[in-house]
Structure 1
Amino acid sequence: MAEEKISNETTSEEVKDTKQESKETGAPKEHAADEKADKKKKGKKDKHEVEIEELSAKLDDMKDKHLRLQAEFDNFRKRTLKEKADLIKSGGETVLVNILPVVDDFERALDSMKEVSDEDAGKQGTMLIYNKFREFLKQNNIKEIEALNQVFDVDLHEAITKIPAPNDELKGKVVDVIQKGYCLNEKVIRFAKVVIGE
């Protein structure tokens, strides 16, 4: 019996040892499985991080496109408002330009009536109509370009010819005005045709 107890003890010890060995040999297997799981998790994390980076890059790109589009629209809006304001300012420009020769004709008629007395009905009627035209031009922001005895300016004057200046002060200046020039809202709608002294 004592022998049976010893053999049972050894067998139980052997079983314990084999269990421990199997645990030890199984531990590396479990540890390897844990490492694989960790690698998979890291791989998933890396994939998620890459996706997050790609999405943030796309988001930044879309924000940039949105800002550019907004700025472009704002510029378009400002440009159209400016064009509309310019159209309103100079909307009747063609009509006003076509009235200028009529004003010129009235001025010629008044020049020819210098010798006629101021009480003459024809002269008074002509003066009345001429003054109404002048007032109409003022109301529509048309101003006459000052030219006589002014320094020649290519932005305002159109030189027809040059003549010797009557005196040294008039050299390079306008000696005579052939046709008056006009501006509409600071924009030249007809250049003054002038003669320059040299």
Structure 2
Amino acid sequence: MDTKEEKEEEMGKKVKHSEVKAEEAKTEEAKTISDAEKNDFQIAALQAKLESAEAELSSLKDQMLRDRAEIENFRKRLARDKDEAVKYANSNLIKDLLQPLDDFNRALDAAESTKDFAKVHDGVLMVSSQLYGLLERNWGLEKIEAVGKEFDPEEHEACMVVEDPSLSVETVLEDFSTGYKLHGRILRPSKVKVGKPTV
């Protein structure tokens, strides 16, 4: 039979054991709470990062759309400017040709009223000289001098060839249609009659 002291001791052990269990339960609960708080904090941090990334993505998409629209507008503006440049590219040339055209009309009017061939001839010569001079000075046009020169297939187009024993090289004898260069580049070759030496 257990004595009263043994019962008390037994009871004390049980109380101590239940206190230890209670303490362990509290520690476990505190640990669970701190893990839950840690998880909540991590979730909140991840949500903040996600919101920041979504805001940045939205901003970048908006910027990309604006940049794309700006590039498209720039492309359209370039196309429009190019069309304008092509359309009005010759406006300075046309302005330069207006004066010789006016002079040509005056020469025709004078020819109508006077019926004098010499005056018409002089007027047409003056307009022709004025026109070629203007194109040469302002636009880089130059005549290809052909007659008496050695035949050059780049500058001359042979329309007729005749043999000539007095020649040592192929030579242009006659110019059927004057050729022109524009800033040194062949614009139109001269159509010529070529003299070929006999062999």
TM-score, normalised to structure 1's length?
Answer: 0.53
**For 2:178, which of 177, 180, 183 is the aligned residue?**
180
How many residue pairs get aligned? The number is 162
Residue equivalent to 2:192: 194
1:8-157 → structure 2 map (5 Å cutoff): 20-48=23-51, 50-51=53-54, 54-55=57-58, 58=61, 61-62=64-65, 65=68, 68-69=71-72, 72-73=75-76, 75-76=78-79, 79-80=82-83, 82-89=85-92, 91=94, 124-138=118-132, 140-141=134-135, 143-153=142-152, 156-157=155-156
Which amino acid in 1 is paired with 2:119? G
CA distance in 2, matches of 1:37, 1:139: 91
CA distance in 1, matches of 2:116, 2:152: 38
Contact 1:89 1:185 in 2 (8 A): no
Contact 1:177 1:194 in 2 (8 A): yes
TM-score, normalised to structure 2's length?
Answer: 0.53
Residue equivalent to 1:158: 157
Shift of 1:27: 0.8
Fraction of identical pairs, as percent: 18
Which amino acid in 2 is paired with 1:40? I
